[in-house]
Structure 1
Amino acid sequence: MYIYNVTTNIEDTAHGEWLHWMKTVHIPQVLSTGKFLSAKMTKVLVEEESGGHTYSVQYTVPDKETLDRYYEEDASRLREDAMKLFAGKLVSFRTELEVVDEFFVHRNTATHQLFTYGTLQEKEVQMGVFSRVLGGSDDTLHHHRISNDKVAGLYPTIEPTGDSKDHIKGKVYTITEEELKKADFYEGEAYKREVVVLSSGKKAWVYLAR
């Protein structure tokens, strides 16, 4: 996994406008390219001699090839938008970081079971959504099947059939309340979350198309 880091110093006179634009326009546009898993915006707590405010935005990307495609297909256009709006008022530099390893404090606060059958089983996606790789186990959901209709024409979903012959194999993970909220945000408004009973007897949340 890689991190694409963009550090920007913005002048006081444009600070408020730029910050609002970054949160509501630019960062959502970068994520909408489909190249990145997540974005984190931080403020640098060191006063610059030249004045202004300094921020760092870190975009997580699964591999170098995907980041290179962002440079080729999207970066120039998105940078031009910033320069048109804030020409002469900001200075930015960019850094590529490769994630070598990650370490987390383990806490016994998990309270939910989540059954997955799609992209949430991918380690890169889990890192982007939960900032950790989940430990799960194989399980099966009966009386459901993969739907022929995909969300946005791309993403799989499932549908109940009532037929005992229909079943879906997947993974069940134990996650925290906060992580469940992150999963809701990742799945978006196109999906709804419902409780199902798995073949193991576990009650778990699963995402279905609305």
Structure 2
Amino acid sequence: MPLLFSYGTLQQDGVQRATFGRLLTGKPDELVGYAQELIKIEDPTVTAKSGRSHHPIVVHTGWQEDRVKGTVFEIDDEDLERADAYEVDAYRRVLAPLASGLRAWVYVDALRGPPEGGSTQ
């Protein structure tokens, strides 16, 4: 089963219900080598689900000391497709390391994510 790391709105109960049709079960973890910023989202579907227009986004730094707190969820392939549909073009999905030693899919800044290669979707 795929793992999905969320540091933003996919942790919200309302967003999970609207996106996946249920609440996800997860545990705290940290994304390693990334820093968090905010961006403005104008997609009305996303802002309706999340209740806000400014959303967190992470940028790849590659520095082990940079960490972003969040939640890692065990999901299935259909859930991953639903998450892809929820996220706007400012994000791209990559496979990234977590502090726990796991690797999980995470949505990062599409322009400032890790270099293209084996870690992208």
TM-score (norm 2): 0.76
Gaps of 5+ in 2: 42-52, 111-121
The correspondence for 1:175, drawn from 60, 65, 75, is: 75
The CA distance in 1 between the partners of 2:79 and 2:73, in whole Å, is: 11
Bigger fraction of residues in helix? 1
Shift >3 Å, 4+ stretches = none
The CA distance in 1 between the partners of 2:92 and 2:15, in whole Å, is: 19
The CA distance in 2 between the partners of 1:162 and 1:208, in whole Å, is: 13
Question: Once the two structures are superposed, what CA deviation does each residue of 1:131-181 show, in whole Å capped at 9, x if it has no partner?
Answer: 01000001011211102x514372210011122221111000011101100
Q: 1 or 2 for the larger relative contact order (CA 8 Å, sep ≥6)?
A: 2
TM-score (norm 1): 0.45
**2:6 alignment partner in structure 1:** 116
- Percent identity over the alignment is 39
Amino acid of the residue matched to residue 99 of structure 2? S
**2:27 alignment partner in structure 1:** 137
The CA distance in 1 between the partners of 2:35 and 2:109, in whole Å, is: 12
Gaps of 5+ in 1: 1-110
- Indicate if the aligned counterparts of 1:145 and 1:168 stay in contact, CA closer than 8 A: yes
- Indicate if the aligned counterparts of 1:136 and 1:172 stay in contact, CA closer than 8 A: yes
Structure 1 or 2, whichever has the larger Rg, is 1
The CA distance in 1 between the partners of 2:60 and 2:32, in whole Å, is: 9
RMSD (CA atoms): 1.3
